[in-house]
Amino acid sequence: MRRASCPAPGTTASSPAAPTTPPTACASSNLARSTLSREGDQVITTGLGGVFPPDVLVGVIKELTPEASGKSTLAVIQPGADPRTVRHVFIITNY
């Protein structure tokens, strides 16, 4: 399982090996250097683990950068929605 982190609105997330993540972007680290992911790919939930249902759009990969260790890749992901401007949400209560 890969973890993505998104900064709070108005702040930035950064990595020593990558440029500063834009305020509305998320970062996903520890992707394999041999990842088949490419800029423009959609990031969706898988449903594995039972926390989120499958096929929910998380965002789109904007940038892939090798991490300083040389063993993994950092992905900058533009969220599927801007949390600063969302007016309506759908809350899943029974999955």
Give per-residue pLDDT as tens, 10-49. Answer: 444 444 444 455 667 888 888 999 889 999 999 999 989 8
Q: Are 25 and 81 in contact (CB under 8 A)?
A: no
Whose structure tokens read 């992901």?
Answer: 77
Q: What is the pLDDT of residues 41-59, one digit of tens each?
A: 999 999 898 888 899 898 9
Question: Rounded to whole angstroms, what are the CA distances from 38 to 28, 35, 53?
Answer: 13, 8, 24
Residue 56: which residues within 8 A CB-CB, separation 6 or more?
44, 45
pLDDT for residue 11: 41
Indicate whether 3 pLDDT > 60.
Answer: no
The reported pTM is 0.67
Query: Which pLDDT tens digit goes with each residue over 55-80?
Result: 989 899 999 999 888 889 999 999 98
Q: What stretches of the chain show up as alpha helix (H) in DSSP?
A: none
